[in-house]
């Protein structure tokens, strides 16, 4: 069974190009037999409001760069249009909220005002020198192992400090940019850090994402998730182009199955132990 794709970006995310569109992603999903697509557009912030913990932390947010506010009204209208246009596909709404433990009020105001089907929590930056610094930049002035350990420490703070999200996205995001190449990355070198995050996530009853844009998690890594109490996994292509929807899902499903996870109640559900 091909799983639902619970992590897709379209033209409504600030970091996509003309290769990403809701319509194109829906058509790709239908062609592959992917039963559902969740458009989890980026919800990131470069300033804070009252109630955001980052204001009291002394940290400065990430530099603005390409980051732009999400046009929620326009995005939701596009979701409804696709639901009408593609009745054979379940089209889900959602957001990927970056650093929600630091932007609790800002992210909470958006999430609380809408009934999103999927809310992902993610971490793309680590504290360094009083600034939230993108992990891609952090590799230029910190040893790779140090970047990863800082990342896991902040990811644990995110899981323990935010209840806004239901799925933890790309739990080892810096792995994509490993200086010696992703193949040189060792999961076992960070087993303790993985397990600490997994324990906290499992204790809250939330779901771990199997991200197929990142180097694919091993069956052993997903077994750690099970051993620490994790009960469900979600599959996400993290597509930023139409052609990547459902990418490597058959392989990812095989890996999850070998770790003890099976299709859930129906073809739209998470896979469960």
**pLDDT at position 68 over 90:** yes
**pLDDT at position 63 over 90:** no
**pLDDT at position 64 over 80:** no
Domain containing 238 — which CATH number? 3.20.20.140
- How would residue 132 be classed by pLDDT, with cut points 50, 70 and 90? very high
pTM: 0.97
- How would residue 66 be classed by pLDDT, with cut points 50, 70 and 90? confident
Counting the structural domains of the chain, the total is: 1
Q: Which domain holds residue 178?
A: 5-272
Cβ-contact 126, 154 below 8 angstroms: yes
Q: Tell me: the pLDDT tens digits for 44-58? A: 999 999 999 999 998
**For residues 185 and 85, what is the distance between their CA atoms, to the nearest angstrom?**
43
The pLDDT of residue 93 is: 98
In Å, how far are 10, 122, 164 from 200, measured between CA atoms? 31, 15, 15
Beta bridge partners of 234: 209
**pLDDT at position 82 over 80:** yes
- Identify the CA nearest to 232 among candidates 255, 193, 205, 214: 205
**pLDDT at position 1 over 90:** no
65 — alpha (psi -120 to 50), left (phi > 0) or beta? left
> Angle 167-127-6 (CA atoms, 0-180°, nearest 5)?
15
Give φ, ψ of 234 to 5 degrees.
Answer: -115, 150
- Choice among 58-67, 159-168, 190-199 with the minimum mean pLDDT: 58-67
Q: Tell me: the pLDDT tens digits for 99-115? A: 999 999 999 999 999 99
**For residues 271 and 266, what is the distance between their CA atoms, to the nearest angstrom?**
9
Mean pLDDT in the chain? 97
- Mean pLDDT, to the nearest integer, of 115-132? 96
Ranges assigned E (strand) in the chain: 5-8, 36-43, 90-98, 118-122, 125-128, 131-134, 167-168, 207-211, 232-236, 271-272
Portion of the chain with pLDDT greater than 90, in percent: 96
């Amino acid at each position: 069974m091909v799983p639902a794709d619970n992590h897709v970006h379209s033209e409504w995310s600030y970091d996509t190009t003309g290769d990403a569109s809701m319509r194109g992603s829906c058509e790709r999903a239908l062609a592959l037999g992917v039963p559902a697509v969740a458009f989890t557009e980026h919800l990131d912030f470069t300033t804070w409001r009252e109630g955001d913990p980052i204001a009291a932390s002394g940290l400065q947010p990430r530099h603005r760069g390409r980051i732009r506010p999400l046009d929620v009204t326009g995005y939701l209208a596009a979701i409804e249009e696709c639901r009408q246009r593609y009745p054979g596909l379940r089209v889900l709404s959602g957001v990927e909220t970056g650093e929600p433990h630091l932007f609790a009020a800002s992210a909470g105001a958006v999430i609380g005002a809408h009934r999103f089907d999927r809310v992902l929590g993610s971490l793309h930056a680590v504290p360094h020198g009083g600034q939230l610094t993108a992990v891609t930049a952090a590799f230029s002035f910190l040893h790779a192992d140090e970047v990863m350990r800082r990342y896991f420490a902040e990811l644990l703070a995110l899981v323990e400090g935010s209840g806004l999200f239901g799925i933890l996205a790309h739990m080892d995001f810096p792995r994509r940019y490993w200086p010696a190449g992703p193949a040189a990355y060792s999961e076992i070198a960070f087993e303790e850090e993985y397990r600490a995050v997994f324990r906290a996530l499992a204790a809250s009853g939330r779901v771990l994402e199997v991200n197929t844009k990142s180097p694919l998690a091993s069956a052993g890594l997903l077994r750690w998730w099970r051993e620490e109490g994790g009960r469900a996994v979600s599959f996400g292509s993290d597509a930023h182009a139409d052609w990547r929807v459902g990418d490597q899902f058959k392989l990812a499903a095989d890996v999850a199955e070998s770790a003890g996870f099976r299709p859930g109640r129906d073809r739209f559900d998470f896979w469960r132990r």
